[in-house]
């Protein structure tokens, strides 16, 4: 797959405890992105956040939050990202959780596979 120049970055903000059945929501999103042939997906775990609920989630030992923030980043061409939006939104609905989905411009400078 070739990816360079003008692309889009899809970010999905969810909680670590969000699940679809027994599967973590972030894993379901990553697998759906791979199955749909998107160029790349990374799952990042945050140390502190708050969102629409205004509840602070933190990794500090005093607070011991079990629901740390998760950001799923997916990059590809605009048309493939747009086609994936319904899938991503459907997964969040299926998980019955809160979240945030954003899209921004991304200029891809280098995209090559590593050695096998």
10, part of any domain: no
Per residue in 51-65, pLDDT tens?
A: 666 677 665 555 555
Q: Is 89 helix (H, G, I), strand (E, B) or coil?
A: helix
Query: pLDDT tier at 2 (50, 70, 90 boundaries)?
Result: confident
**Helix or strand run (H / E) with residue 24:** strand 23-24
Largest CA distance in the chain: 46
Residues 32-48 as b/e (b if ≥16 CB within 10 A, e otherwise) read bbeeeebbbbebeeeee
95 part of a folded domain: yes
Better-scored residue on pLDDT, 2 or 103: 103
- Specify the pTM: 0.87
Q: Is residue 116 helix, strand or coil?
A: coil
Q: Does 114 map to a domain?
A: no
Please check whether residue 30 lies inside any domain of the structure: yes
Domain assignment present for 113: no
Range of the domain at 58: 17-107
| CATH number for position 36 | 3.30.70.120
> For residue range 22-34, what is the model confidence (pLDDT) as tens digits?
999 999 999 999 9
By DSSP bridging, strand 48-49 and strand 23-24 are unpaired
In the chain, % of residues over pLDDT 70: 85
Look at the chain and report how many structural domains it folds into: 1
Residue 115 inside a domain? The answer is no
In a domain, 101, yes or no: yes
- The per-residue pLDDT for range 75-104, each reduced to its tens digit, is 999 999 999 999 999 999 999 999 999 999
């Amino acid at each position: 797959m070739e990816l360079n120049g003008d692309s889009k970055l899809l970010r999905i903000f969810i909680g670590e405890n969000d699940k679809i059945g027994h599967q973590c929501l972030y894993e379901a999103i990553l697998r759906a992105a791979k199955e749909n042939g998107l160029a790349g997906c990374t799952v990042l775990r945050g140390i502190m956040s708050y969102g629409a609920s205004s509840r602070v989630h933190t990794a500090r030992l005093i607070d011991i939050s079990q629901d740390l923030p998760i950001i799923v980043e997916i990059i590809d061409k605009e048309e493939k990202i747009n086609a994936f939006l319904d899938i991503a939104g459907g997964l969040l609905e299926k998980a019955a959780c809160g979240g945030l989905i954003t899209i921004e411009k991304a200029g891809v400078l280098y995209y090559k596979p590593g050695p096998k």
